[in-house]
Chains A and B, each alone.
Chain A
Amino acid sequence: MSFIKRAILHTVRKLGKSTLLFLVLLIMSILILTCLSIRSATETAELNVRESLGGTYSIAAKRTKGQITYDVLDKISKIKGVKKIENGHSESYAEYKSQDGNKLETKTTDSDIEDIKGFEHVGKLQSNMYSEKDEFFKNKTFKLLEGRHITKGDKNVLLVHKDFAKRNNLSIGDQIILDLNEALIKDTGYSPTQIKVKIIGIYEHTTEQETAMNVSYTLYENTVFTDQASFVDLHEFGKTPYYSDIEVVVDDPAKLDSIVNEMKLIDNVNWDLCRITYHDTDYQNAKKPLDSLNSLVTISIIIIIIVAISLIVLILVMWIRNRVYETGVFMSMGFSKANILLQHLTEILLIAIIAFSLSFPISSLISGQVGSALLGQSGNGINKLTQLNVNVSIENFILMYVIGVLLIVVSVIISTLPILKMKPKEILSTLS
């Protein structure tokens, strides 16, 4: 009788014992596969937490004197993990003139500080890719009253304060001139070009400016918003358009470092002159608890795998030890040791292969149930999250299969060896 036939016969005849071993192996492999699938789902859920907390970074590039051009922005937005360029911004001062060249009136300050010469008709000039995303509008210090916001692609447009419009009798559709006077270009080397801009929106401020110690040209009332093309032309006509401050939104705040490092590989920009600031407060606050949750899962998986392996080994040892008597009989009948060992291996592998194969559909089923029963993820419009699925991956399955079979072979051999070393007579006499 060949060892294979003996193995099959043993498995069939001792159906109860075979079933038990089968069940133990099946349950252990289900445990491992299901937990691994839950682990990867947890990682996705954590990624989703990070994504929903969000992260941005800003580049302060004023010192590069215009190296962050539209081209560079395009390259940045193509870096993997960058969601979008939130806004580009520059800021400076400009003198306001009417179309016929007369200087326009600005609000004077009632503070303790006298106006500085040359700044009487000057105000803060803000330029934006999207004026809506400008700090002032974003934190609701300013509110658009009429007209529309400046958006990407606008040229020669302007938003003015209600007070400034009233003071100079301006309304939407009117054109004014932005200019730089002597005082403004002192020490800068700019050769200014007058830029004619059209008013497309009027805003007002909703919270009072914090302090009375302001000079007139920093007052909210004297601030105007324009597009970047006009801003660049005003200072250096014909220069490739650029931004001084850029805000970039990323998908995963944990990847800020790697994204910024990748960005710094972009040519033609002296990144040393840029100051990069992360805006990831929510993520930073949540980082510690998130990390501990992550470690908890890792710890659990490690414990589970160690326990599963040791249980399988122990049970196999128990299995073999129960068959000392049988082994003795076989040996006395003249079966070779290799033959007996092969029989044991065949029996267990036969059972294991069925158990492992079944574990895949069963744990997929359990994982699917866990996924659909537990997880609710409201589709949040602003933060598009990564799809959360609880799936048993083929990789994990194959890995478990291979490791499981190896484990069985090794532990069966190790636990059979001491028995095989004995003589049949010894075995049969120790038994009684």
Chain B
Amino acid sequence: MNILKRSLLYIVRKRKRTLLLLIILTVISTLVLSGLSILNTTKDSSAKLRESTGSGFSITPNLETATKKATKDANSFDYEQEQINNDMLNKILKVNGVKGYNSKYIAVPSIQALDGKNLETVVYTDIFDMPILKYGAMGYGCIDTNYDSYFTSNKFKLAKGRHITKDDKNKIIMSSELAKKHNFKIGDKLKWTILDEAVEAQNGKGSTDIGTADIEVEIVGIFDILTEQSDKSSLSQHELYENFIFSDMQTIYDFYANSPQVKEEMDKGFYEVDFFVKDPKELETVMKNVKNISSINWNNFTITANDEVYKTSSDSMSNVDKLITTMIVIVVIISLIIVTLILSMWTRSRLRETGILMSTGISKANILTQYTLETLFVALFAFGLCYFISSLIAGNFGNIIDSSIESSDIKVTINSFIPVFSFGILSILISIGVSSISIMRMNPKEILSKMS
């Protein structure tokens, strides 16, 4: 009878023993595989936790190297300094680790319906009964409103529709209060204008800074205000959060097309750009790489890290990460020890059988191979089962315990299966080998006499 046949026969005949070993191996390998999947998910969640601190850096013109020009009232200065243009932006965005950025311009438009009818903005007082105030809103031209400070600081939250992104043209998002007041829905259009009264008021002061504007914009999103302003009745209408309107950059360019001085300012580039990184751990590296862009004259710019939140909490965050990792490592180590122990127990309980086989003249190597083969057959089956069970557990556990983990978050990957598989086989081989040593040293007579 050859080895293969003997081991298969053993597996089949001793069905209950086989089943027991199968269950034990399945349970332990499931433990290890789930542990490794949890470890992967922990890495993801920790990365998300760090990312949630919204860390990044800002680039502004360096005022220390700027040319100072006294303003007309001589109390303050105007600074002449290079600003960030689109060319530089694109180069900075190529640096690895930058996930998003924003910069904004301010405009104070009045709003009108498409037919030219002035629309009153939200108001809580009656002091400001003048046309240039009554229809006034605050317009923020943004590159990407996802990263605007009002949204990143949870003052506002997008309720319907979508955010404004880089490639938008003449799109806006407005507050739900303002939308409600005029029955605006997503997809509706309105006009941003500069009223003649405002232009006249400017001209009256001898300034020609502001020219007329009359542009059509489309609502693509509506936001909710989460933080209320204090003392709303003392604020003029365009200062109320309710009357904040976010638009894309193109809208602002169009809006100031007839205002040469503002246009000139804007053509210089962005005054301040806020960049956000994926992982605040990498912030220093990212900033260093940005500073290494040689085509930008860094003498003219100041680059500041915004990572206070991450800095105060990073120790505790990494402690959470370390603790979970340690726990899984302990689980894996102990699982390996347990497998070894159980297999030793297993082999030892077959002392009598070994003695009989040896006395029938079967070589020690042959017997050892048979035992190994048996266990490996069972183990292969167990590992297969474990992959199946772990996927099942991973898929459902998240939902059962807490909805905060989406089932897709915990994935049993082939990557974590391969180490389970190979380490499993290895520990089986080693433990059978080790526990057989003492038996294999004896001769059949010793074994059989020891038995009774």
A and B bind: yes
Q: Name A residues whose Cβ lies closer than 8 Å to a Cβ of B.
A: 16-17, 20-21, 23-24, 27-28, 30-31, 34-35, 38-39, 41-42, 45-46, 48-49, 51-54, 60, 62, 91, 110, 112-113, 116, 210-211, 213-214, 218, 245, 275, 277, 279, 281-282, 284-286, 288-300, 302-304, 307, 310-311, 314-315, 317-318, 321-322, 366, 370, 374-378, 380, 382-383, 385, 388, 390
Select one of A290, A303, A304 contacting B49, CB under 8 A.
A290
What string of 1s and 0s marks CB contacts (under 8 Å) between B104-126 and chain A? 00101000000000000000000
A322 and B342 alpha carbons, distance in the complex (Å):
14
Known A293-B42, A299-B401, A303-B34; judge A49-B316 contact (CB<8 A): yes
Shortest C-beta distance, B51 to chain A (Å), equals 8
Q: Which chain A residues border B228 with CB–CB below 8 Å?
A: 60, 275, 277
Select one of A49, A91, A113, A284 contacting B317, CB under 8 A.
A49
Is the CB–CB distance between A60 and B130 below 8 Å? no
Q: Which chain B residues border A27 with CB–CB below 8 Å?
A: 334, 337-338, 341
Chain A: CB-nearest residue to B397: A299
Is the CB–CB distance between A307 and B154 below 8 Å? no
Q: Which chain B residues border A28 with CB–CB below 8 Å?
A: 338
Q: Which chain B residues border A51 with CB–CB below 8 Å?
A: 316
Shortest C-beta distance, A346 to chain B (Å), equals 20
Shortest C-beta distance, B238 to chain A (Å), equals 7
B313 close to A (CB within 8 Å): yes
What string of 1s and 0s marks CB contacts (under 8 Å) between B380-406 and chain A? 000000000000010001100110110
Q: Which chain A residues border B17 with CB–CB below 8 Å?
A: 321
Is the CB–CB distance between B24 and A311 below 8 Å? yes
Shortest C-beta distance, A70 to chain B (Å), equals 21
What string of 1s and 0s marks CB contacts (under 8 Å) between B231-257 and chain A? 100101011000000000000000000
Chain B: CB-nearest residue to A24: B341
Known A27-B341, A296-B324, A300-B324; judge A288-B315 contact (CB<8 A): no
Is the CB–CB distance between A211 and B402 below 8 Å? no
Chain B: CB-nearest residue to A374: B322
A366 and B322 alpha carbons, distance in the complex (Å):
15
B52 close to A (CB within 8 Å): yes
Select one of B54, B201, B315, B324 contacting A297, CB under 8 A.
B324
Known A112-B201, A311-B24; judge A282-B53 contact (CB<8 A): yes
Q: Which chain A residues border B132 with CB–CB below 8 Å?
A: 112, 213
Q: Which chain A residues border B326 with CB–CB below 8 Å?
A: 38, 370, 374
Chain B: CB-nearest residue to A317: B20
A370 and B324 alpha carbons, distance in the complex (Å):
11
Enumerate 29 A-B pairs (CB-CB under 8 Å) in ascending A order: A24-B341, A24-B342, A35-B330, A46-B316, A112-B198, A113-B130, A113-B133, A213-B133, A213-B136, A281-B153, A281-B154, A282-B53, A286-B49, A292-B402, A293-B45, A293-B49, A298-B401, A299-B34, A299-B401, A303-B34, A304-B331, A307-B31, A310-B23, A311-B24, A311-B338, A321-B16, A370-B326, A374-B319, A382-B312
Known A27-B338, A48-B319, A295-B405; judge A285-B54 contact (CB<8 A): yes
B449 close to A (CB within 8 Å): no
B283 close to A (CB within 8 Å): no
Is the CB–CB distance between B320 and A293 below 8 Å? yes
Known A24-B342, A35-B330, A91-B231; judge A52-B49 contact (CB<8 A): no
Known A53-B309, A293-B49, A315-B342; judge A385-B323 contact (CB<8 A): no
A208 and B308 alpha carbons, distance in the complex (Å):
25
What string of 1s and 0s marks CB contacts (under 8 Å) between B17-43 and chain A? 100100110011011001100100110
Shortest C-beta distance, B123 to chain A (Å), equals 14
Q: Which chain B residues border A23 with CB–CB below 8 Å?
A: 341
Is the CB–CB distance between A288 and B320 below 8 Å? no
In B326-347, which residues have CB < 8 Å from any A CB? 326-328, 330-331, 334, 337-338, 341-342, 344-345
Select one of A24, A286, A390 contacting B338, CB under 8 A.
A24
Shortest C-beta distance, A311 to chain B (Å), equals 6
Shortest C-beta distance, A385 to chain B (Å), equals 7
Majority DSSP secondary structure for residues of B touching A: helix
Select one of A30, A291, A292, A311 contacting B27, CB under 8 A.
A311
B306 close to A (CB within 8 Å): no
A219 and B331 alpha carbons, distance in the complex (Å):
65
Known A17-B345, A314-B23, A322-B349; judge A292-B41 contact (CB<8 A): yes
5 extra interface residue pairs, beta carbon distance < 8 Å, beyond A210-B106, A304-B31: A20-B348, A60-B230, A218-B234, A288-B404, A380-B315
Q: Which chain A residues border B58 with CB–CB below 8 Å?
A: none
B409 close to A (CB within 8 Å): yes
Known A34-B330, A296-B405, A297-B327; judge A307-B30 contact (CB<8 A): yes
Ordered nearest first, which 10 A-B pairs have the shortest CB separation? A48-B316, A291-B404, A289-B49, A295-B402, A52-B313, A289-B48, A45-B319, A285-B52, A49-B316, A112-B201
Q: Which chain A residues border B330 with CB–CB below 8 Å?
A: 31, 34-35, 38, 366
Shortest C-beta distance, B329 to chain A (Å), equals 10
A311 and B201 alpha carbons, distance in the complex (Å):
85
Is the CB–CB distance between A42 and B54 below 8 Å? no
Q: Which chain A residues border B309 with CB–CB below 8 Å?
A: 53, 282
Select one of A35, A38, A377 contacting B316, CB under 8 A.
A377
Is the CB–CB distance between B316 and A52 below 8 Å? yes
Q: Which chain B residues border A211 with CB–CB below 8 Å?
A: 108, 236, 238-239
Q: Which chain B residues border A46 with CB–CB below 8 Å?
A: 316, 320
Q: Which chain A residues border B316 with CB–CB below 8 Å?
A: 45-46, 48-49, 51-52, 377, 385
Chain A: CB-nearest residue to B32: A307
Shortest C-beta distance, B321 to chain A (Å), equals 8
B46 close to A (CB within 8 Å): yes
Q: Which chain A residues border B74 with CB–CB below 8 Å?
A: none
Q: Which chain A residues border B304 with CB–CB below 8 Å?
A: none
